[in-house]
């Protein structure tokens, strides 16, 4: 964080200082909410959780070097006491980003936020020091904590913004007002909570409503291929930059193809030039993510060549997103078990089909959560797609949604043991342990709650001769 005195922080958050011998003492380290992340100079934000109360850790964080605790009650060690720690954290983030010399880039969308944010960061850091959301910390606590981790040197601050309802994104943009706002797509993730795709579009579009005008440098980066995103152009005063495969996009891809190993390759066109990209990431869905990242980078002054090079070098920074492991025995494991929704299921299955040309392919799939009334139809459609893409074996894992997946495959023409339904992750591991043979490619994917990452992990370890149980 930029150095701030405890007195200044207390004034910014409207808090009372308690047990602070010298209010001019400065916080120089990061602001953290996990006591294990405290380093000398930190400010520790004490949250009251369902199981743990951060206030209980106050003596130990000060012992570890924290300058003070941001707390909702006095704790017997130096503290700034406020009514609500989350609100205070937000106020502090707002104050700090105003003082930073950094350009703020914010992005939202239904699928691919974290993947794209990681791409943007890996491109922009070729140009200047960049701070970005770690993992998927995109809510009202993760966002201010990320913003507060920026320093005087930071030139680009890239923030993932998540929404579970109307006004969520607006709140986040009030804490950290972006100059550049990117909307990736409007899909069906969390549709059950929102009520419908129009409501999701309404919520995501709050990002572009918050941008400054074109004269003040505001830029809305919108997906030309997604009609609900494209329509957000009318909701912003900012300059509109379109990305996508559509001909009207300012930043586009031509000659898109997947290499035999499933990695996208294309010619990147920007308003100021073109250059070729071959990605290290797997799956066609990364083309859209890469174009979005390219549009942001172009807006910030990078050339097509610089962007193409950075995109071609970019790797996965966040786990279980199309994480590919080649086992010594020639089995390829694709662990995409971080999450699943209909769009990402389709993208992953297509990548599996590309990677598995001439090989035996396995799709180990589980439920996609939060689909509301569309759950049955969407699971059925994924089961059918697996068959249409000629996936050799479908293993549907878990409860009733898995049975819909398998039934979809069956109705599309899979027969015999081409599609099976197993009860849980361990049953999937047991089945694959006995069935996999050299040359096979296995995709593992479901919503996070199904916990299929354990299957991916166990299968990777099976190839090294280590333990394979998830029990």
Ligand X SMILES: Nc1ncnc2c1ncn2[C@@H]1O[C@H](COP(=O)(O)OP(=O)(O)OP(=O)(O)O)[C@@H](O)[C@H]1O
Question: How near is the Cβ of 346 to ligand X at its closest, in Å?
Answer: 8
Q: Is 111 annotated as a binding residue?
A: yes
In a 13 Å sphere around the CA of 258, the CA atoms on its Cβ side amount to 21
Residues 153 and 4 sit within 8 Å (Cβ to Cβ): no
Q: Is 114 annotated as a binding residue?
A: yes
Q: 359 to each of 258, 285, 392, 439, how far by Cα in Å?
A: 16, 22, 9, 6
- Answer yes or no whether residue 114 interacts with Mg ion by CB under 5 A: yes
The pair of structure tokens assigned to 402 is 């898995």
In our burial notation (b when 16+ CB lie closer than 10 A, e otherwise), range 328-345 reads eeebbbbbbbbbbbbbbb
| Alpha helices (H) in 14-129, listed in sequence order | 58-63, 85-99, 113-124
Closest residue to ligand X: CB criterion: 112
Choosing among ligand X, Mg ion, none, which partner's interface includes residue 339 (Cβ < 5 to 8 Å by kind)?
ligand X
Q: Is 204 annotated as a binding residue?
A: no
Question: How near is the Cβ of 255 to ligand X at its closest, in Å?
Answer: 19
d(CA 193, CA 365): 23
Q: Is 110 annotated as a binding residue?
A: yes
Query: By C-beta, is 284 or 424 nearer to ligand X?
Result: 284
Q: Is 112 annotated as a binding residue?
A: yes
Choosing among Mg ion, ligand X, none, which partner's interface includes residue 288 (Cβ < 5 to 8 Å by kind)?
ligand X
Choosing among Mg ion, ligand X, none, which partner's interface includes residue 312 (Cβ < 5 to 8 Å by kind)?
none
Choosing among Mg ion, ligand X, none, which partner's interface includes residue 338 (Cβ < 5 to 8 Å by kind)?
ligand X
Question: How near is the Cβ of 193 to ligand X at its closest, in Å?
Answer: 12
Q: Which residue matches tokens 């206030």?
A: 55
Query: By C-beta, is 116 or 419 nearer to ligand X?
Result: 116
Question: How near is the Cβ of 46 to ligand X at its closest, in Å?
Answer: 26
d(CA 79, CA 18): 5
Q: Is 109 annotated as a binding residue?
A: yes
Phi, then psi, of 106 in degrees rounded to 5: -120, 145
| Among positions 17, 136, 265, 392, the unique one binding Mg ion when judged by CB under 5 A | 136
Residues within the interface to ligand X (CB under 6 A): 109, 111-115, 136, 138, 162, 189, 285, 288-289, 321-322, 336, 338-339, 343-344, 347-348
Q: Which residue matches tokens 């993760």?
A: 142
Residue 353: DSSP 8-state = H
Query: By C-beta, is 150 or 324 nearer to ligand X?
Result: 324
Binding residues for ATP: 109-115
| Contacting positions for Mg ion (CB under 5 A) | 113-114, 136
């Amino acid at each position: 964080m930029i150095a701030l005195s405890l007195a200044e922080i207390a004034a910014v958050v409207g808090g009372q200082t308690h047990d602070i011998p010298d209010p001019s003492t400065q916080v120089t380290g990061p602001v953290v909410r996990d006591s294990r992340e405290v380093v000398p100079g930190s400010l520790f934000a004490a949250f009251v959780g369902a199981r743990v109360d951060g206030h209980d850790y106050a003596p130990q964080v000060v012992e570890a070097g924290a300058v003070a605790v941001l707390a909702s009650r006095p704790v017997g060690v130096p503290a700034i006491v406020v009514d609500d720690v989350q609100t205070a954290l937000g106020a502090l983030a707002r104050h700090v980003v105003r003082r930073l010399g950094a350009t703020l880039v914010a992005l939202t969308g239904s699928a691919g936020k974290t993947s794209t944010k990681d791409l943007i960061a890996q491109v922009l850091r070729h140009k200047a020091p960049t701070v970005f959301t770690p993992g998927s910390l995109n809510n009202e606590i993760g966002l201010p904590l990320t913003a507060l981790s920026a320093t005087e040197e930071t030139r680009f601050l890239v923030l993932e913004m998540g929404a579970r309802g109307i006004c969520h994104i607006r709140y986040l943009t009030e804490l950290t007002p972006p100059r550049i706002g990117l909307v990736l797509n409007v899909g069906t993730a969390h549709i059950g909570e929102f009520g419908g795709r129009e409501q999701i579009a309404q919520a995501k579009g709050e990002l572009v409503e918050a941008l400054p005008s074109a004269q003040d440098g505001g830029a809305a980066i919108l997906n030309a291929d997604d009609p609900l995103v494209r329509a957000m152009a009318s909701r912003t005063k900012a300059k509109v930059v379109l990305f996508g495969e559509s001909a009207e996009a300012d930043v586009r891809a031509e000659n898109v193809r997947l290499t035999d190993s499933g990695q996208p390759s294309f010619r990147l066109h920007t308003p100021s030039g073109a250059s070729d990209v071959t990605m290290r990431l797997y799956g066609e869905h990364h083309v859209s993510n890469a174009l979005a990242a390219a549009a942001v980078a172009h807006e910030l002054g990078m050339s097509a060549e610089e962007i193409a090079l950075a995109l071609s070098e970019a790797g996965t920074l966040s786990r279980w997103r199309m994480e590919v492991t080649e086992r010594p025995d020639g089995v390829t494991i694709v662990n995409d078990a971080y999450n699943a929704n209909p769009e990402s299921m389709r993208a992953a299955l297509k990548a599996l089909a590309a990677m598995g040309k001439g090989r035996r392919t396995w799709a180990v799939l589980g439920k996609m959560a939060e689909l509301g009334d569309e759950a049955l139809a969407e699971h059925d459609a994924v089961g059918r797609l697996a068959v249409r893409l000629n996936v050799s074996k479908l293993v549907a894992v878990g409860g009733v949604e898995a049975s819909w997946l398998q039934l979809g495959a069956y109705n599309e023409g899979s027969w015999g043991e081409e599609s099976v339904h197993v009860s849980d992750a361990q049953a999937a591991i047991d089945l694959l342990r006995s069935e996999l043979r050299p040359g096979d490619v296995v995709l593992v994917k479901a919503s996070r709650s199904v916990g299929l990452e354990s299957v991916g992990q166990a299968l990777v370890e099976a190839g090294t001769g280590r333990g394979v149980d998830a029990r």
